[in-house]
Structure 1
C-alpha cells in the first residue's frame, strides 16, 4: 500500500471521512495540519501548493508516488477498502454513492446554515436558519424511515455511506439537535451513536457528546471573533489616550483569550478568513432600499403590493435586473435533486443577500426539466464576478441583463416574482420555485 499525506487544518470534519476510512482499511496516511508541514491560510495559498491543488481547498491528498486528489469524498473512496465501497455488489456500490451524494447535497448546506452562526463564524439570518431547520427535519425523516429496519445504511456492515453521513451530521448532533428536536428521529440517533462508538470512529473523533440544549447565535461571541479580521482599526485612535488605556485594560485580559477558548482550530481557521472589501463601496447611495422591498415581498401580496412597490422605487441607475438559465438541462433528472441544486446555491451565497434578490424556478418534470430565474443586483455588473465570496455555481448558468423599461423585463419580473403566468419563453409547466432574499 503506497500511502500518502492528507493536508488539512485540525478538527476539519471533512477530513474525518478519509481518516475514518483509513482506520478501517489500515491505509497508511500521514496528516499535515500544523506548521511547518502545513498552515491553513498560508501553505494552501503558495504557488507550490496551488500547482498540486489549483483550488487551494483542504482536505487535499498527495500520494507517496506524487498523484494528488481533492474533495474529501473522493479521498475517502481512494483510501477505503472494497467492503467500505460496497464490496463486489453493484447495487450496494450504487447505494453507497447515493448516500454520499445525499450527504453532500441535502445535509451539508442546511447543516452549515444552521450550525455556523452558533459557532460565531457566520452572521445569524433568521430566515435562513428557519429554512435550514425545516430541511434538516426532512433529511432526518428520510433517514429515520430508511433505518427503521436497518442497522447501517447499506448492507450489514459500515460503509462509506455511514462514514460520510455521520461526519456531515456531527456538528448538528454536537451543537443543535437537542433531545426534544431529535426525539422523533430515534432510528437516526441510534444509528449515529452506534457509528461514533465504533473503535475506528473513536480513534479519529474521540468521544462524541450529544448536545443537551440547542446552541443559539451569540452576538457577543460573533463580535469578539470579527476584530481578528480588521486588525488595522486598532492603530487608528490617537485622540483620546485616557479612554484608550481604559479600553485596553478591559479588553486585553478578558475578550482576547475568549475566542481562543471557545473556538476549536477548525472554527478559528474559518473565522480567520480575511474580510473582503465591499465591491459596491464606490457607488453612490441608492434610493432603492432592498430590505424594504424584501419585507413587502415577504409579508404582503406579491401582485397588489410588492410588485407595485418594486417598480415605484426601483432605481435603474444603481441596480440591474438579470435573467439566468441553467446551462445543462440534460443533466437534470429527479425534480427534488434539481430543486436542491437551487437551494444549495442560495445557501452558499449568504454574503450576497444584502444586495441581491432572486426568484429561481424549476419547470417541467422528472428527466424533462429546466431551471431559470430573475435576479436583481446592486450596480450594473454581474455580481458574482465582483467578489470571490460570491462565485458560487454562477458559471453553470447563462446570464443576460434585461432592460428594466422593456416589456420583456416587466413580464418576466411579474411572472417570476409571482410564480404564475404563461412563461412563454420556457415551454414547460411551473413545478416549484425558490426565493433568494
Structure 2
C-alpha cells in the first residue's frame, strides 16, 4: 500500500522532500502537478504538501520534510537542535533572502533602506551559522542531519544572487559547509549546474527620459521683430539606431505579415525568405526562476510585464514568448528577433531583463529552426530540456 502522495515542484522548499523520498526509496508518489485531491485538501495552494492514507494530510514545509525524514538525531536533545536550525532557516533566513534578491532584480518594488536593512539581518543570521560551523563540521554534531539538508536547500538563492566571493571569504566555514551539503546524494541532483555568485546582484533603476530643460522667461519681443522659435532638445538616440535601417529585412512588414496572415502557412515562410543573419540575430530567452512560478496566468502576467517594459526597443525587436506546463509546474521561454548581433542594447531598457537568460540561436540548425517556428506559432507542444511541454499561454512583442 502506498504511503501517500507528496506534492513537490522545483521550489526552494520542495527540493528536499522529493530528495528524501528518492534517497530512502519510500513508497510515496511524488507529483509536480495538482489534482482534485490536492485542491480539496490545500486551498492555500502551498508547496510542498503531503496526503497520506486515511485522509492524513500535511502542509507547511517543515512538517512535510520531518514526516518523511530519517536523519533526526540520536536523542531528543539532537532532535531539538535540528528543529532549532531548520526553524531559523525557514523563518529568518529564506524569507529575507527572497525579499532582498527579488527587490534587487526588480520583481517586487525596490526600497533601498528596506533592502539594506534586510541584507544586514541576513548577514547576522549567516554569522550565527558561521560561528556554529567554526566548531562543528555540521549543524548538529559531526554527522549530516536533516538540519543541514534543510538549511542548505533554503540558502541556495543567497549563494546564487547575494553572497559574492568577498562575502564568502568572510564566512569560510558556512561556505565550505554549503558546498559539502549540496554535494550529498539527496540534494546533488538539484545542484548539478549551480554557480556561486561572483558579485552580489545590484539594483538597476529603470531608465527615465530626461525632462526638457526649462527655458528662462524671455522679454516680450518688439512688435517689428519675429519671436524666435524655441530650440527643441534632441532625445538621446537608442544604441541600435547607430546601425541604420535594415537593407534586406523590413521589420514592420514582418510584424504586419505575422499579425494578419496564417502563421504556419504564410508568415513563417515569409520570415525565412527575408531573414538576414548579417543584420539581425535570433535569441532564445529563458526565465531564470521557473521554480518560483505558480499559476500559469500569473506567469503570463509576468511575461506581459516584461514585454511592456521593452517598449523603448520596439523599432528593433520582435518576440514571441510562451508559458509552458500547468499550474505550479510551468516555465517561461521565448524567441526574439533583434537588430544587430548583441542582445544587451535591445533589452537594457527593461529593469528586469537580467531575470532572463539569453542564448543566441543558429537558425541553420534544423532542430533550432523548428523550435523557433513552434515558439512563433503556439500550435503544438514545445521541447524543453528534451521533454515536450504543452503551451498554456503566451505573449507577442511587436
TM-score by length of 1: 0.48
Q: 1:86 — aligned with what?
A: 73
Q: Distance in 1 between matches of 2:129 and 2:172?
A: 10
For 1:107, which of 89, 93, 103 is the aligned residue? 93
The change in CA–CA distance for 1:167 and 1:117 in structure 2 (over 3 A counts) is same
Match runs of 1:35-54 below 5 Å: 37-38=33-34, 48-54=37-43
Shift of 1:207: 4.1
* Partners of 1:4 and 1:64 within 8 A in 2: yes
Q: 2:288 — aligned with what?
A: 263
TM-align CA RMSD? 3.5
Shift of 1:13: 0.8
The change in CA–CA distance for 1:271 and 1:179 in structure 2 (over 3 A counts) is farther
Q: 1:301 — aligned with what?
A: none
Q: Deviations over 1:21-48 (max 9, x none)?
A: 3344332333322xxx43xxxx5xx7x5
Q: 1:369 — aligned with what?
A: none
1:26 matches 2:25: yes
The change in CA–CA distance for 1:271 and 1:169 in structure 2 (over 3 A counts) is farther
For 1:70, which of 59, 74, 86 is the aligned residue? 59
Q: Distance in 1 between matches of 2:44 and 2:137?
A: 38
* Partners of 1:7 and 1:59 within 8 A in 2: yes
The change in CA–CA distance for 1:213 and 1:6 in structure 2 (over 3 A counts) is same
Q: Deviations over 1:253-289 (max 9, x none)?
A: 99x987x5133322443895387xxxxxxxxxxxxxx
Q: Deviations over 1:59-106 (max 9, x none)?
A: 21122554221111111101111xx1113x111011011111111221
Secondary structure of residue in 2 paired with 1:112 = helix
Shift of 1:53: 1.4
Q: 1:3 — aligned with what?
A: 3
Q: Which has the larger radius of gyration?
A: 2
1:193 matches 2:218: no
* Partners of 2:7 and 2:49 within 8 A in 1: yes
* Partners of 1:100 and 1:165 within 8 A in 2: yes
1:121 matches 2:94: no
Secondary structure of residue in 2 paired with 1:151 = coil
* Runs of 4 or more consecutive aligned structure 1 residues displaced over 4 Å after TM superposition: 218-221, 244-249, 251-254
Q: 2:338 — aligned with what?
A: none
Q: Distance in 1 between matches of 2:129 and 2:297?
A: 35
For 2:125, which of 139, 161, 164 is the aligned residue? 139
1:12 matches 2:2: no
Shift of 1:246: 8.3
Structure 1 unpaired stretches of 5+: 222-243, 276-437
* Partners of 2:5 and 2:31 within 8 A in 1: yes
Secondary structure of residue in 1 paired with 2:77 = helix
Q: Deviations over 1:301-347 (max 9, x none)?
A: xxxxxxxxxxxxxxxxxxxxxxxxxxxxxxxxxxxxxxxxxxxxxxx
1:55 matches 2:55: no
Q: Distance in 2 between matches of 1:79 and 1:168?
A: 18
Structure 2 unpaired stretches of 5+: 208-250, 260-270, 272-279, 302-398
Secondary structure of residue in 2 paired with 1:168 = helix
Q: Distance in 2 between matches of 1:59 and 1:199?
A: 20
Match runs of 1:30-429 below 5 Å: 30-33=29-32, 37-38=33-34, 48-63=37-52, 66-81=55-70, 84-87=71-74, 89-217=75-203, 261-269=286-294, 273=298
Secondary structure of residue in 1 paired with 2:115 = helix
Q: Distance in 2 between matches of 1:220 and 1:74?
A: 41
Q: Deviations over 1:203-230 (max 9, x none)?
A: 3433432111222345679xxxxxxxxx
* Partners of 1:8 and 1:15 within 8 A in 2: yes
Q: Distance in 1 between matches of 2:287 and 2:82?
A: 36
Secondary structure of residue in 2 paired with 1:273 = helix
Shift of 1:6: 2.1
Q: Distance in 1 between matches of 2:72 and 2:29?
A: 22
The change in CA–CA distance for 1:118 and 1:58 in structure 2 (over 3 A counts) is same
